[in-house]
Structure 1
Amino acid sequence: MKHSKPTERTKVKVVLPGDTVSLDVTTPGITLGPGLIQAGDSISCTKAGFLVRSGSIYWVENDQKRYIPETGEHVVGRISGKGGEFYRVDIGSAHQAILPFLAFENATKKNRPNLNIGDLIYARVALANKDMDPELQCLNPMNNKADGFGKLEGGMVLKCSLRYCQRLLTQETDICKLLGQVLQFEVSIGMNGRVWLSSDTIKHISLVYNVLKQAEALNNSECKALVNKLAV
């Protein structure tokens, strides 16, 4: 696993829904995370909380319990049903999401993905509107390639807080990097409070699962001490 060095996290200010954030969207490398939306040259907040910066990444952090989908977010979902042209997917939000059969790399009407109820998928939120069921896609819209999206084979799912998932995605915590130094594993982190884990043995999957679960309440130095116990 490759991980970049975690950057310092700074709480910029308290924001409310509708507040405008003064950021130069033309600056190379700026990434907008959960709670922020861009319309033209303007960036607005979609929820209340702290505006947080980690390197060139900005997002709004709060103690929200239930996942509220936002366009562009990555999620770990479970297939819960099948319609005429789409799958129903449980992503932990108030409403189940829709995943069209054609929202996969190289999918056609004759060449559709074969997913069953209970299967896990890693997807991107393609459309989120309070008046409609969220829509997912299992491809990168920039190149129409899977790029890691799609069916998740085997493994385990860790359910955790939305804030912890934000920490893992922004690499504010070293835990995944530290674990990658002692164990080989795969991880897909969803903004919906679900983290999929896989490794070559059940024992290793269980170890990674338990360490990540404990690390939610630990700081970086405590995470390092926890992982060091595995290396002994």
Structure 2
Amino acid sequence: MAISILPPAPAPPSSHHGTSDNGSPDSDGDVDMADSGPPTKRAKLSHKAIVTPGETVTDDPQWMRGHGTHQTPHSSTITATVAGTLLRTNKLLSISPLRARYTPEIGDLVVGRITSVQPKRWKVDLSAPLLAHLPLSAIHLPGGIQRKRTSTDELQMRTFFSEGDLLAAEVQAIFQDGAASLHTRSLKYGKLRNGVFLAVAGTGGGGGVARARRQVWTLETAHGGGEVDVVLGVNGYIGIRPTIFQLVRISHATSPSELTPATKITPSRIEAIKPPYAIASASKLEAEPW
């Protein structure tokens, strides 16, 4: 049976297997998803067209609807509900949106903002559909003390993180509703200070930053400003802060006014390293002692 994909672009003629492995023609009428080799169940990205909301994808009854599509009752017509690129996984049709919120995954390094302080946990904005949770038991206590959290620690939660603070963390778990649970049990995680915050937009459920083995980079700044650490959050939030060696110098300052120009991160110092697709600096991080 011939398959036709309706506008925005006409589908190429369906290619059937002329002969199967045993020399008999392919009789199931399936679409050849690959040029050679056995068929795979991995979703293949269609490079033919971008569909828009309300547009008819196909009216062939052999296709099943997936994410980003809609099918009315007693009808075989599948229409798009989001703007994006068509994905075909065997007989399943889905649409990868051009722009979507971040979808958390375990192990992701993210940069978030504290939105509220609740009993024994903080709520963190990750640009995801739901706010993430940062339990009190998942942070480092001052001095790196390893002990059970007490009611005294709960009363001092705002001394660790308060509303509006930016932090780097790792996704530790995903709840059934899709919310993420974070932790900062590492020296590379924690509150971000004396730096600049940037945000980039992503596509297809990503935050605009590709997942990689390394998410923290040390780069040279312009005008002889020295080195800075660039924390690339997978959720699209980016924090630019001093290197660990400069943080030691900052830790001896008793007030923001005591920070020297060499330890302050200013927009002019990061102009040469700011990605061209980044949104203008949304807000500066705290210029306070570490």
| Bigger relative CO (Cα 8 Å, ≥ 6 apart) | 1
Q: Deviations over 1:63-100 (max 9, x none)?
A: 55310101110100111001111000001100000000
Structure 1's 201 and 97: CA in aligned 2 closer, same or farther, altered over 3 A? same
The unaligned stretches of length 5 or more in structure 2 are: 1-39, 45-85, 88-95, 141-145, 243-262, 279-290
Match of 1:16 in 2: 43
| Match of residue 96, structure 1, among 125, 131, 139 | 131
Match of 1:157 in 2: 197
SS in 1 for 2:114: strand
CA deviation after TM superposition for structure 1 residue 166, in Å: 1.4
| Match of residue 166, structure 1, among 198, 202, 210 | 210
8 Å CA contact 1:158, 1:209 repeated in 2: no
Identity %: 24
| Match of residue 101, structure 2, among 45, 63, 66 | 66
| Match of residue 192, structure 1, among 235, 248, 253 | 235
Q: Deviations over 1:155-175 (max 9, x none)?
A: 1111013465217x467xxxx
8 Å CA contact 1:75, 1:194 repeated in 2: yes
SS in 1 for 2:191: strand
State which structure, 1 or 2, has the greater radius of gyration over its C-alpha atoms: 2
Give 1:198's aligned amino acid.
R
Q: Deviations over 1:112-136 (max 9, x none)?
A: 4521101111111111245242111
Q: TM-score, normalised by structure 1?
A: 0.54
Q: Deviations over 1:42-72 (max 9, x none)?
A: xxxxxx98xxxxxxxxxxx995531010111
Whether 2:207 is the aligned partner of 1:207: answer no
Structure 1's 135 and 186: CA in aligned 2 closer, same or farther, altered over 3 A? same
Match of 1:228 in 2: none
8 Å CA contact 1:158, 1:213 repeated in 2: no
Whether 2:161 is the aligned partner of 1:118: answer no
Distance 1:136 1:125 in 2: 5
Distance 1:177 1:62 in 2: 33
Whether 2:115 is the aligned partner of 1:80: answer yes
SS in 1 for 2:276: helix
Whether 2:188 is the aligned partner of 1:148: answer yes
| Match of residue 173, structure 2, among 122, 127, 130 | 127
The unaligned stretches of length 5 or more in structure 1 are: 1-12, 18-47, 50-60, 140-145, 217-232
Distance 1:160 1:178 in 2: 19
CA deviation after TM superposition for structure 1 residue 147, in Å: 3.0
**For the aligned residues, what is the CA RMSD?**
3.6
Distance 2:149 2:219 in 1: 44
Distance 1:170 1:126 in 2: 16
SS in 2 for 1:214: coil
Give 1:136's aligned amino acid.
L
